[in-house]
């Protein structure tokens, strides 16, 4: 009689198995520090804009401009499928170093103004439209398709670790040394990111196909007929429209007006979200292939939206810390699982363009940031966030009812 096999318990070596690749370890350094830099920029620039204008609307507007470049996500994905991905990522980090140097100089000289901040935010968004699909396509090159799910979870963990440390350091440095001190860390991290990408060994050149326009149309057509990928992209659009605008733009306003938090406390609040994301990524890394599940993605979305609603109505700083940590655990599970599904469901020749379409989903972030900024200015931070989080929860529930296969597919 056959005895049913029992799945072997995953060891910590298996949990972090993708790190056996030397070049992927370098990429994780770049991913983590780039993420830390962006979180610190959200904090520093948000507080600088508040100081200049005392307007939640302009904070939301800056956050919106940071996302305009994502409209070019499909073009960025096309570049990732046609050219050397390592060189493209090095160009991105070199551009980050230049724009960070410019902003730090303005802060040191006390010459920062709203127009300059808008321009640099636009440059940042254009660069990120190329960065996102290129990095994920390069990640698949470095570890192979069999290890993609683990690599996504581990790289997300690197992001989450720096999400804990970055805002805390930025808040502390701002409290001690003014905003310029906090932003100096941003520039230092971007320099290290550039060095890490340069040290990645060159990859074999990609084989170019037909014209750029025909390849772009082929990529968008592939996404359109792939129902599983389309479902993931639709949920990503909802997440950027309703879930992320708060964290990537209005958290400084919420911390000041609702929780009465200073810069250091605001840094800790942002760090709690990073810690929650790290816990979600660790869970997915331990799960291995079981983490590539639509059901798990849906559960993550529902937990994120529900807990964010509770955070919106909380007035106690300690409870808010715990709720934000738990909410961002759900966010990490939802978004990381969606990325793993896209990378493994896509044909290798289409990975860059599929991730470029995923970048296009971030077009919801500027719209959501503007809407949330306007709602906050009119209603206050707490009611506005409660409305947005309830809308996200309702939208995900409707998606699950309209497409019940999302709960069963793997």
pLDDT at 37: 85
Collapse the DSSP code of 99 into the 3-class scheme (helix H, G, I; strand E, B; otherwise coil) and give the result: helix
| CA pair distance 332, 301, nearest whole angstrom | 9
When pLDDT is averaged across residues 4-26 and rounded to a whole number, the result is: 66
In angstroms, the CA 181 to CA 247 distance is: 22
The C-alpha atoms of residue 70 and residue 353 are separated, in whole angstroms, by 13
Cβ proximity of 248 and 125 under 8 Å: no
Q: Which residues contact 87 (CB under 8 A, 6 or more apart)?
A: none
Least confident of 96-100, 137-141, 307-311: 137-141
Name the pLDDT band for 289 (thresholds 50, 70, 90). low
Q: Which CATH class is domain 15-202+209-407?
A: mainly alpha
**Model confidence band, residue 194 (pLDDT cutoffs 50, 70, 90):** very high
CB neighbours of residue 61 within 10 Å: 23
Whose structure tokens read 């992927």? 24
Asked if 312 contacts 363 with a C-beta cutoff of 8 angstroms, the reply is no
Report the alpha-carbon distance of residue 31 to residue 227 in Å, rounded. Answer: 29
d(CA 61, CA 50): 12
pLDDT band per the 50, 70, 90 thresholds, residue 5 = very low
What is the secondary structure of 273-305 as a DSSP string?
HHHHHHHHHHHHHHHGGGG--HHHHHHHHHHHH
Nearest to 389, CA basis, from 245, 276, 236: 245
The two structure tokens encoding residue 350 = 């289409």
d(CA 327, CA 333): 10
Higher pLDDT, 288 or 27: 27
pLDDT, tens digit, for every residue of 119-142? 988 888 888 888 888 888 888 888
Quote the percentage of the chain above a pLDDT of 70: 84
Q: What angle do CA 390, 363, 338 make, to 5 degrees?
A: 70
Domain boundaries along the sequence of the chain: 15-202+209-407
Model confidence band, residue 102 (pLDDT cutoffs 50, 70, 90) = very high
Tallying the residues shown for the chain, one arrives at 410
Q: Which of 30-34, 85-89, 149-153, 279-283 has the lowest mean pLDDT?
A: 149-153
Is pLDDT larger for residue 31 or for residue 71? 31
pLDDT, one tens digit per residue, over 327-375 is 999 998 998 888 888 877 777 767 777 777 777 777 787 788 788 888 8
Least confident of 27-31, 291-295, 341-345: 291-295
Terminal-residue alpha carbon distance, the chain = 30
Asked if residues 370 and 60 have their Cβ atoms less than 8 Å apart, the reply is yes
């Amino acid at each position: 009689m056959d005895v049913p096999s029992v799945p072997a318990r995953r060891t910590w070596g298996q949990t972090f198995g993708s790190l056996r690749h030397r070049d992927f370890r370098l990429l994780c350094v770049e991913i983590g520090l780039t993420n830390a830099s962006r979180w610190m920029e959200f904090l520093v620039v948000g507080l600088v804009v508040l100081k200049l204008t005392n307007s939640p609307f302009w904070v939301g507007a800056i956050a919106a401009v940071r996302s305009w470049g994502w409209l070019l996500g499909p073009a960025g994905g096309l570049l990732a499928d046609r050219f050397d991905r390592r060189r493209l990522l090095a160009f991105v980090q070199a551009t980050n170093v230049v724009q960070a140097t410019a902003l730090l100089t303005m802060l040191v000289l006390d010459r920062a103004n709203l127009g300059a901040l808008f321009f640099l935010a636009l440059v940042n968004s254009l660069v990120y439209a190329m960065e996102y699909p290129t990095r994920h396509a390069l990640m698949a090159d470095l570890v192979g398709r069999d290890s993609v799910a683990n690599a996504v979870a581990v790289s997300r963990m690197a992001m989450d670790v720096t999400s804990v440390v970055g805002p805390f350091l930025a808040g502390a440095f701002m409290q001690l040394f003014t905003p310029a001190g906090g932003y100096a860390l941003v520039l230092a991290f971007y320099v290290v990111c550039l060095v890490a990408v340069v040290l990645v060994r060159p990859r074999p050149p990609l084989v170019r196909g037909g014209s750029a326009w025909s390849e772009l149309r082929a990529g968008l057509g592939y996404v359109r007929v792939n129902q599983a990928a389309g479902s993931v992209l639709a949920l990503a659009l909802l997440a950027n429209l309703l879930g992320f605008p708060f964290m990537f733009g209005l958290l400084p306003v919420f911390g000041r007006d609702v929780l009465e938090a200073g810069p250091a406390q605001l840094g800790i609040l942002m760090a709690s979200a990073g810690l929650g994301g790290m816990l979600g990524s660790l869970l997915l890394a331990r799960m291995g292939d079981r983490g590539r599940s639509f059901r798990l993605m849906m559960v993550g979305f529902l937990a994120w939206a529900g807990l964010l609603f509770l955070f919106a109505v909380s007035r106690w700083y300690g409870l808010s810390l715990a709720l934000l940590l738990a909410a961002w655990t759900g966010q990490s599970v939802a978004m990381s699982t969606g990325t793993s599904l896209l990378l493994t469901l896509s044909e290798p020749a289409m990975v860059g363009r599929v991730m470029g379409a995923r970048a296009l989903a971030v077009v919801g972030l500027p719209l959501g940031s503007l809407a949330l900024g306007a709602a906050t200015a009119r209603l206050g931070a707490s009611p506005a966030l409660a409305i947005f989080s309830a809308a996200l929860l309702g939208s995900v529930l409707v998606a699950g009812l309209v497409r019940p296969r999302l709960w069963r597919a793997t």
